[in-house]
Chain A
Amino acid sequence: MLPSADILANGALWSVATIAAYLVARALYRRVHHWALSPLIVAPAILVAAALATQVGYAPYIAGTHWLMLALGPATVAFALPIYEHRATIRRLWPVLLVGVVVGSGIAMLSAWGLALAFGLSDSLRLSLLPRSMSMPFALIVAEDVGGVPDLTAVFVVLTAVVGVAVGEILLKWLPLTSSLARGSLFGMGAHGAGVAKANEIGGEEGSIAGLVMVLSGVVNVLAAPLIVLLIR
C-alpha cells in the first residue's frame, strides 16, 4: 500500500519541525550554556509542545520522522574513529578500562533491574531501563535484544544523560579521585554523550577517556547482549 499524499505531507512537516526544533535548541544552548537548557531537554520539549498543541500522537509523528533515525547506523560505524585514534591508550591501559567498563555496565544493569523491582515497575519498563546508561545507538540495539521497548529506552537514555551530568558534578566535588582516568570514566560510563561533553569541560584527558569508555562500553554491551538475554530469561 502506498502512503497517501496526506501522510507524506504530514511526514515532511514533522521532519522539518524536528530539524528546526533541534537547530533552535542547539543555537540556544550555544548562547545560554546552562544544563537546564540542554538541547537534550529543549529539543524534545519544543516538539512535545507542538504535538500537544496540534493533537498529534506519537504514532503519526514517528511514522513521518523515523527516517532521521536511520543515521544512527552510520553514526555507530563512526565510533570506530575514536577507538582507532585512542588505540595507544587502549593498548596501554586496557586492564583499567576493562575494569571500568565491566564494573560500570554490571552496576548499570543490576541497579536498573533491582530498582525497577523495588519500585514495582512493569516488566516492559524494567527491560527498557536496562540499557539506559549506554550511548543511544547501542542502547536501542540492546533494548531490542533484551525484549524492552526501544522507544521507552530512548526516553530513559536521555533522562540518564541529563540527571547524570548533575549527579557527576556533585560526586566529583567530594569523591577523592586521584586520576583523570577515574574522573573521565565516571562521566563516560554514567552519562554517555552528555557526560563526555561535561568531561571535556573538566579536561582534555578526562574528555578522551570519557568518550573512549562510552564507546567501549556500548560495544561490549551489544556484544554481550545475547548472553545477557540468556541470563534474564
Chain B
Amino acid sequence: MNRISAFHRNSRVAQVALLAAVWFVGNLISRGLGLPFPGAIVGLGLMLALLLSGWVKPTAVRRGAKFLIGEMLLFFVPAVLAVLDHAEWLSITGLKLFAAVLLGTLMVMLGTAIAVDLSYRWWVRHAAVR
C-alpha cells in the first residue's frame, strides 16, 4: 500500500490519470443528472471535496496539477489557429476587436483593483478589529 502511494506521489503520469478519472466521473454525473454545468466543473467540485475530506492527499495530485495548469497553453493553442479563418480581421474589424479588448481590459483592471482596495480597507477596519 505504502509502495503504491509512494509511486503515485512521484509519478506525474499517474497523477494526471487520477485527475482525468475525476473528470470522467464528473462527466458521468453531469450527464446522468442533466446538470447545466459540464463535467469539468463537476469534477473540480468533486476533486475539492476529495481533498477537503482527506480521501485524497494534496501530494497525490500536486505534480499532475502543476503540469496540467503549467502547460495549459499547449492544450488550447489549437483553438487559437481559428484566426486562419478570419482574414477579414486584417481590416478595420481587427482594429475594433483589438480596441474592445484593450479598453475592456483597462476597465476590468481599474474597477477590480479599486473595488478590492476599498473593500479590503473596509475589511481591515471592521472584520479584523477584534
B44 CB to closest chain A CB (Å) equals 5
Residues A78 and B61 in contact in the complex (CB < 8 Å), given A154-B79, A156-B97, A182-B120 = yes
Question: Complex formed: what's the CA distance from A151 to B73 in Å?
Answer: 14
Residue of B nearest to A79 (CB): B44
Interface residues on chain A, size class = 35 or more
Say whether B23 contacts A74, CB under 8 Å: yes
The answer to whether A115 touches B109, judged by C-beta atoms less than 8 angstroms apart, is no
Contact of A95 among B48, B64, B99, B119 (CB under 8 A): B119
CB distance from B38 to the nearest CB of A (A): 6
A119 and B36 contacting across the interface, CB-CB below 8 Å: no
Q: Does A163 contact B (CB under 8 A)?
A: yes
Asked if A96 is at the interface (CB within 8 A of a chain B CB), the reply is yes
Number of residues of chain B lying within 8 A (CB) of chain A: 72
Task: Report how far A66 CA is from B97 CA in the complex, Å.
Answer: 25
B40 contacts A73, CB within 8 Å?
A: yes
Contact status A121-B104, CB under 8 Å: no
The answer to whether A73 and B77 touch across the interface, beta carbons within 8 angstroms, is no
A12 at the interface (CB under 8 A from B): no
- For A75, A115, A154, the residue with the greatest tally of chain B CB atoms inside 10 Å of its CB is A75
Please indicate the chain A residues that have their CB under 8 angstroms from the CB of B107 in the complex. 107, 111
In the complex, what residues of A have CB within 8 A of residue B100's CB? 112, 115-116, 119, 121, 129
**Who on chain B is nearest to A63 by CB?**
B78
Query: Which single member of B36, B62, B109, B117 contacts A81 (CB below 8 Å)?
Result: B62
Contact A163 B105 (CB under 8 A): yes
Interface pair A189/B65, CB less than 8 Å apart: no
Q: Measured between alpha carbons, how far is A129 from B113 in the docked complex, in Å?
A: 22
A76 touches B41 (CB 8 A): yes
CB of A7 closer than 8 Å to a CB of B: no
A76 contacts B23, C-beta separation under 8 Å: yes
User: How many Å from the CB of A223 to the closest CB on chain B?
Assistant: 7
B119 touches A104 (CB 8 A): no
Query: Could you tell me the distance between the alpha carbons of A149 and B83 in the complex, rounded to whole angstroms?
Result: 12
Contacts of A9 in B (CB 8 A): none
B113: chain A residues at CB < 8 Å are: 171, 175, 177, 182-183, 185-186
- Per the bound structure, the CA–CA distance linking A182 and B119 in Å amounts to 10
Could you give 9 example pairs across A and B, Cβ below 8 Å? Answer: A22-B77, A78-B69, A107-B112, A115-B100, A119-B96, A129-B101, A167-B106, A179-B117, A225-B36
Query: What is B's interface to A at a CB cutoff of 8 Å?
Result: 16, 19-20, 22-23, 26-27, 36-41, 43-48, 51-52, 58, 61-62, 64-65, 68-69, 71-86, 93, 96-117, 119-121, 123, 127
Contacts beyond the supplied A57-B85, A156-B101, A181-B117: 6 A-B pairs with Cβ under 8 Å: A61-B78, A77-B20, A77-B22, A115-B100, A121-B93, A193-B73
